[in-house]
């Protein structure tokens, strides 16, 4: 079995960083959404081997979907000191009887 060119964590870091880079670049210019070609170019710039066009298209669609979701979340104003939607209450781990 050959060694992968990139680990799973490195791939996710590159994917996440490319989305952040696209968001930062579009804020510096006008707030228009980047084209699919520019998204795949950014993704391929971080990867050691270029992705197939179908996979780059899926990544671009995911980035666009995430961008729309983030825009809708940012549009909702949340008052300072609001209560969280849920409270995490950890419980002690039960020791198993052998």
Please tell me the predicted confidence (pLDDT) of residue 69: 92
pLDDT tens digits, one per residue of 62-96: 888 999 999 998 898 888 888 877 778 888 888 77
User: Which residue's structure tokens are 């960083």?
Assistant: 17
Q: List all residues 6 or more positions away from 48 whose beta carbon is below 8 Å from its beta carbon.
A: 5, 6
Please tell me the predicted confidence (pLDDT) of residue 81: 83
CB of 42 within 8 A of CB of 21? yes
pLDDT tens digits, one per residue of 31-57: 455 565 666 677 677 777 777 778 878
Please tell me the predicted confidence (pLDDT) of residue 33: 56
pTM over 0.75: no
Q: List all residues 6 or more positions away from 61 whose beta carbon is below 8 Å from its beta carbon.
A: 36
**Least confident segment among 2-11, 20-29, 72-81:** 20-29
């Amino acid at each position: 079995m050959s060694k992968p060119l990139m680990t799973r964590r490195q791939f996710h870091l590159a994917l996440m960083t490319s989305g952040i880079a696209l968001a930062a670049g579009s804020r510096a210019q006008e707030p228009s959404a980047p084209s699919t070609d520019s998204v795949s170019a950014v993704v391929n710039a971080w990867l050691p081997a270029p992705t197939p066009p179908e996979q780059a298209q899926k990544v671009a669609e995911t980035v666009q979907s995430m961008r729309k979701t983030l825009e809708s979340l940012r549009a909702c104003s949340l008052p300072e000191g609001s209560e969280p939607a849920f409270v995490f209450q950890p419980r002690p781990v039960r020791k198993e009887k052998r």
